[in-house]
Amino acid sequence: MMRTPLWTVVCLVSAVGLSACSQTGGPFAKKNPEKGAVNVVDATNLNDIMLTVADPNEAVNYFKSALEKEPDRIDFQRGLATSLVRAKRATEAVPVFNTLLKHEEATNEDRIDFADALIRSNDWKTAEQQLNLVPPTVETFKRYRLEAMVADSQKQWKKADSFYETAVGLTTQPAKVLNNWGYSKLTRGQYKEAEALFLEAISYDQKLFTAKNNLVMARGLQKNYTLPLINMTQQERAHLLYTLGLTAIKKGDKAVGRGLIETAIETHPSHFEAAVRSLEALG
């Protein structure tokens, strides 16, 4: 997805805001001429734009700058925390969430987002503590998805399955959570159940390569060394054959694995460096 440069977004938003002023006699100027630019930003929802189409790191800079001017605004605090997570800087988001949650307008959703940042920072214990502070009446997809992940990390399988099942029922786009659930089953050695969940995930999102790769792994661990009948590009086919080959080798079927890796190299539309190195290592 192409990110929109911050300056372009600001220019577009400012143009819309100025147009609105000319049509309404300049309402922003009446309220406070010195804060006209901020009012334009508020009126055109630049915060929402920064959290969706803008580059995450540009959004971080925008919200940091906004907070320097108005440090008590929770929407700017929330925007910075969210942008840091989007920019894969979850560890930096943690102290921002800590400040945000002390605000009188903080919500349960903010606490759930904080738990998400903590999990991304590998702080599972604190994430669980934060989720426990969320009232049981708050039943959202994200809350149950995170609850399932925490239960998984503690190998509380029955609890995890219950949370995963609930989360799937609370969204129209369950592909990623089904993939997570399938991977959980995979780590438990329940390969057949994992395979079914990966297939279901792909049925919702045929572009989710992670689920395709996990599906092939689940089949390989059952010594089923054929590719499933799913949509895949030539490059994806090569990578899936490679995964299947590595899985066969791990299962002790070295000759089968070598053949699959050779086929992966032949199938790939360009040079498949990782597969070539693995083949050379097999000698």
Within 10 angstroms of residue 72's Cβ, the number of other Cβ atoms is 8
Q: Is 0.75 surpassed by the pTM of this model?
A: yes
Per-residue pLDDT tens, the chain, 283 aa: give them.
444 454 444 444 444 343 343 444 433 334 454 454 455 455 347 888 888 888 999 999 999 999 999 999 999 999 999 999 999 999 999 999 999 999 999 999 999 999 999 999 999 999 999 999 999 999 999 999 999 999 999 999 999 999 999 999 999 999 999 999 999 999 999 999 999 999 999 999 999 999 999 999 999 999 999 999 999 999 999 999 999 999 999 999 999 999 999 999 999 999 999 999 999 998 8
Q: What is the reported pLDDT for 48?
A: 87
Residue type, 24: T
Give strand ranges (E) for the chain: none
Residue-level pLDDT at 230:
96
pLDDT score recorded for residue 38: 54
Structural domain boundaries in the chain:
57-66+74-130, 233-283
CA angle 242, 245, 251 (to 5 degrees): 145
pLDDT at 42: 57
CA distances from 224 to 105, 197, 199, 239, 245 (A): 54, 17, 15, 17, 11
Q: For 149-175, how does the pLDDT look when each residue is reduced to its tens digit (9 = 90+)?
A: 999 999 999 999 999 999 999 999 999
Strand partners, 4: 54
DSSP string, 98-165: HHHTTSTT--HHHHHHHHHHHHHTT-HHHHHHHHHTS-TT---HHHHHHHHHHHHHTT-HHHHHHHHH
Q: Sign of the C-alpha dihedral, residues 89, 95, 97, 103? A: negative
Give the CATH architecture of domain 57-66+74-130: Alpha Horseshoe (1.25)
Residue 37 in contact with residue 6, Cβ under 8 Å? no
CA distances to 13, 257, 258, 270 from 282, in Å: 58, 10, 8, 21
What is the Cα–Cα distance from 53 to 41, expressed in whole angstroms? 16
- Cα separation, 144 vs 139, in Å, equals 7
Question: What's the CA gap between 123 and 230, in Å, rounded?
Answer: 37
- The pLDDT score that the predictor gives to residue 20 is 41
Phi, psi of 45 (to 5 degrees): 55, 45
Whether 199 and 215 have beta carbons less than 8 Å apart is answered as yes
Helix 209-220 × helix 234-250 angle, to 10°: 30
Buried b (16+ CB within 10 A) or exposed e, 1-21: eeebebeebbeebeeebeeeb
What's the confidence (pLDDT) of residue 62? 94
